[in-house]
Amino acid sequence: MKLFSVAEMVAAEKAADAAGVTYAQMMETAGLATAEAIMERYPVEHVRVLVLVGPGNNGGDGLVCGRYLAEAGADVAFYLSKPRDPAADENFAHIQQMGLLAVEAGFDQRFRVLRTRLAITDILVDALLGTGVTRPLGDDLARLVQQVHAGLDERRAALHEQSRPRLISINRVTKQHGDQVIGSKGTTTSLPPHPIIVAVDCPSGLNCDTGAIDTLAIPAHLTVTFAGPKRGHFKFPGAAACGEIVVADIGLTPDLPELKAVAVEVMTATHASKRLPLRPLDGHKGTFGKVLIAAGSDRYRGAPVLAAKGAFRAGAGLVALAVPELVRQTAVVALPEATYPPIADDKILSAHSANLLLAECAHYDALLVGPGLSQEAAAFWQALLAAARLPPLIVDADGLNLLAQMDNWPARLPPQTVLTPHPAEMARLMRVSLPELLTQDRIEIAQAQAEQWGHVVLLKGAYTVVAAPDGRTTLLPFANPALAVGGSGDVLSGVIVALLGQGLEPFDAAVVGGYVHGAAGALYKGQSGLLAGEMADLVAKAVNYLRNGHNPLSPLPT
């Protein structure tokens, strides 16, 4: 799935129109898709819907959406920010023919009709502004949106009062009255005790390139965007205002040159499942990869175990832990499934241990260096990098921090090494300050450094970015605070080394590994309290969901 800049989206739509998929067809498809997304999640029969209609194509999408909701039994009204001429606007003429209420803001003194309608609204469809808007909301539109906010606040207060239970248990945790159940099509749903806000393409006021968002913008519970998400959907602070993001196909053919030219993609469950390594019935542990993890120190004894668990759960046939003796004593109890090659050191891996491992490296399909390694292990890392040949390599944690201290470090690594920095580690590798790095575009940083260094860069964070030296770039659609816990990155690096060991090329291993890790976190129903060890266990569940054709982010069919 493509990730568009605004200019790329405009070019793709223009090319599609020239190729015969007219703007009118795209508008019809977009409006229908928005209505379908709403109907899959919420009941609409007899539900009161208000569509905010802007002057451009986004407003046209809203008119089409409202028409289909009305045909499905919803009580739909339209509020127009600017006049529309039914003689020139087929979609506006259509709702007039249906006898649906449409009010122009210019004829609504003191916004009385708007406020009256908001007082009974269950679903608000925001079709005021499209993806091309970059200016702050101003003048008449700002006043209108201020009234929308005031009306929504009153509606929320009224619904909250109506849904407030008369009986409250003080010593038992129970599901609150009026809670919403969101499922895929066919599941039982109910409206929550607040108006649902649906954004058409993007919340009005979001800059779809930069992620900047107007202070008056209306945060959405659901955003239905078209052809592919826009970069601003995944950039904060605006990303937090989008809610669930659903992408609707509007008929753009993949062979359009303007579509092929879009370099950045968003990973999907379907794509991840197709890239998973095969599991032949007659396979054995050698078939599924032998991986070596060089990690750990007396201060960080758990990191190697977490990485190894991630590797096993991602399907590695054999995992060897090269760890100091103090780590080995506890690791073998926590993870008896692993093997433990001879290591000469008690607390910190040394150059002598590196030479011992180099004699064994030919027996392994992939190598991970870094989790819990300690920055005192510089001699070990230097000796390892002096080898003429290493297995496919992933570097994480202190392996990255030690690289940052070396001159010309990219040339010391095997080509296409996978690097997995978080922003602070990325800043060290780039030799810039963290505040300076944080002002830059994450996608552009990963792309530029992957090309400059000649290695695959997985830049961690909310909406992780993976970039290859040849320009391939993929964004992972996960922003989950539950993953922000010590050891999470160790599990991720273990998943990636397992996929490298099973034969995936480095970029695919990083993209699929990152997706599996994010999906594992999404299977945990909460925003905090997830342990990294539990995350590793969820990795196997996420992989099996993908293999069986299920999206880990959606409920399994019963």
Write out pLDDT tens, residues 101-125.
Answer: 999 999 999 999 999 999 999 999 9
The residue with tokens 């003194």 is 109
pLDDT digits (tens, 9 = 90+) for 12-49: 999 999 999 999 999 999 999 999 999 999 999 999 99
pLDDT digits (tens, 9 = 90+) for 257-283: 999 999 999 999 999 999 999 888 888
Q: Give the pLDDT confidence score for residue 558 in this predicted structure.
A: 25
DSSP β-bridge partners for residue 293? 321, 368
Amino acid at 230: K
pLDDT digits (tens, 9 = 90+) for 68-98: 999 999 999 999 999 999 999 999 999 999 9
The dihedral region occupied by 380, where left means phi > 0, alpha psi between -120 and 50, and beta the remainder, is alpha
Number of residues that this document lists for the chain = 558
Q: Give the pLDDT confidence score for residue 261 in this predicted structure.
A: 93
The dihedral region occupied by 265, where left means phi > 0, alpha psi between -120 and 50, and beta the remainder, is beta
Name the nearest CA neighbour of 123 among 154, 91, 155: 155
Domains, the chain, with CATH or none: 6-162+191-262 (3.40.50.10260), 270-547 (3.40.1190.20)
pTM for the model stands at 0.91
Residue 125: count other Cβ atoms within 10 Å of its Cβ: 31
Query: How far, rounded to the nearest angstrom, does the alpha carbon of residue 322 sit from its chain's CA centroid?
Result: 33
What confidence category does residue 550 fall into, taking pLDDT thresholds of 50, 70 and 90? low
Q: What is the mean pLDDT of residues 246-260?
A: 92
